[in-house]
Structure 1
Amino acid sequence: SSIVSCISSARENAQQVRERISSEMWEQLNRLFLKVKHANMEDIWFAAPHEFLTAIKEGVQLFQGLTDSTMSNNEGWHFIQVGRYIERAWATAALIDVHFRTSSLVQPEQIDSLRSDHLDYLEWVGLLRSCSAFQAYCGAYTANIYPERIAEFLLFNTEFPRSIHFAIDMLQRALHAIAKATNARRTQRIERLVGRLSAALDYDQVEDIIEDIHSYLEHIQQQCTQIHNAIYQTYIFYPVDVALTLEGAAQS
C-alpha cells in the first residue's frame, strides 16, 4: 500500500491493457513510475518531503485528467471510474474516522477555544486539505472550522467530487453503464449493495450519526469492501461452475 508499490502495480496493470488506454495515459504513468523508482526517500524526507509528495499528488491528478480527456467513455473507462470512486469513498471514510478518533467534538460556542488550540485547528484544516476540500468547505460554510460540519461536508455533500456521497453516486452511475454495455447477469447483489449505501447517504443526517460516527464510518468501509468483492466476483473472478451453467442453458 506504499506510494511506490501502488504506482508500480498501476503500471503493471496498464501494461496488460496497453492497447485500451491512450498513449498520454501511458506516458504519464511512466513518468510517475520513474520519479518514484529513482527517488532517494531518505534524502527526500530530510530535504523537501512536501515538494515530493505534492509532485506525486499532482502527477496522479494529471493522470486522472488525461484519462477523462483522452480515453473513450467505453466499458474500460467505466471500470476505471468504478475503481476510482469505490477507493475514494473508502479512503475518505478512513480519513474522517482517524481525525474523529484523535480529536474531540467541538460545539459552535467553543469555536474560539478551537482557534486558540492552534494544533487542533491545523489538524482539522489538514483533513480538509488532504481531501482537497478546504476551499470548497469554506465556500459552503465560511472559514469557521466545525468538525461536525466537516463530517457533514465530506460525508453527505452531493456536489463536491471527493465527498463519499458524490463518490457513491458516480460509482452507481458507472456500474449501471457497465451492466448495460455488457448485458451482465447476476448484478442484483451489486445493485442492492450500492443502492442501500446510496439511500443511507441520501437520508442520513449528521446530527443523527455524529455521536457514534466511528461505527457509521466503519460500516461505510465495510459496505465498500462488500461492493468491491461483489464486483470482483461478478466481472473479474467469474466462477467456472456459473459459466458452465449459463453455457449449458444457452445451448439447450
Structure 2
Amino acid sequence: MLTLSLIGIGCGDPGQLTCAAVQAINAADLILIPRKGTAKSDLADLRRTICADVLTNDRTVVAEFDLPVREAGEADYRKGVDDWHDAVAATWQQAIANHLGSEGRVALLIWGDPSLYDSSLRIARRLDPLPDIEVVPGITSIQALCAAHALPLNDIGEPFLVTTGRRLREGGWPLGVDTVVVMLDGGAAFQSLDPAGLQIHWGAYLGMPDQIIMSGVLAEIGPRIVAARQEARARHGWIMDSYILKRMR
C-alpha cells in the first residue's frame, strides 16, 4: 500500500513544527517539494530548510516537482479550480511513480494545516489507486496571526466566521457575527466595506523573517495596509497575508 502523509508545517517558522510532524517527516520514504516558480521560491526554500534541519533518515528521498499553475480569471471559478486540482493530482501521481512506485510512504509538507483553506486533501482523493491518507496537523495562519497580535480570536461566548477575500468583496459583511477572519485575499477586500466601527488586525509573511503586522481602526490604518501590501509584493514578487476584522463595541 501507498501511504500519503500530509504534514502541516506552520506558517513559515521552522520552530512551529510539532514533534509529530518531525516524526512523520522521518518516517517518509519520499518527500515531495513543489516548485511554484521563481517568484515564490521562498516557499520551496523553507521546505528545503525544514528537511535539512530535521530529516535524519538517510534513506528518505527528497524530490522536487513543478506545480501546475491555475488559470487566472476563469469565467467558471469552480470548474477552473477542479481542472487545476486534476492537473495537480496528475503531477503528484507522476512524481510518486518516478521516485517511489506503488508502495511506501510519501509526504508533502503543507503550509499551515491541511484542513484550512488548503486543497491537498481534495487533490489526494483524486489519486488512483487511492492511497492511505494520513494528516499531521500544523499551526494555522489564524493561530499565527492571533499570536502575533496577542489577540483572542473570539469575544466571550461569541462566534466568528472564516471566509475569503472574494466572498467578502462579493457578499459584504456576513450576518450574525462581529468577528470575521479573511484569508486568500489577493486584493485587500476590506476596502469594499464601510470602515465605520471596524478594527483590523493584519499580518503578512507570518512566522517568516519578513513578517509584517499592523492593527488599528480600519478607516485610519486601512490605506497604510494597502500601501504596505503593494510595497511588499513588489519587493518579494508574492505576498501571503490574512487579517481579522472586528466590530468595535
Identify, as 1 or 2, the structure richer in helix: 1
**TM-score by structure 2 length?**
0.27
User: Normalized against structure 1, the TM-score is what?
Assistant: 0.27
| Structure exhibiting the larger radius of gyration computed from Cα positions | 1
Richer in strand (by share): 2
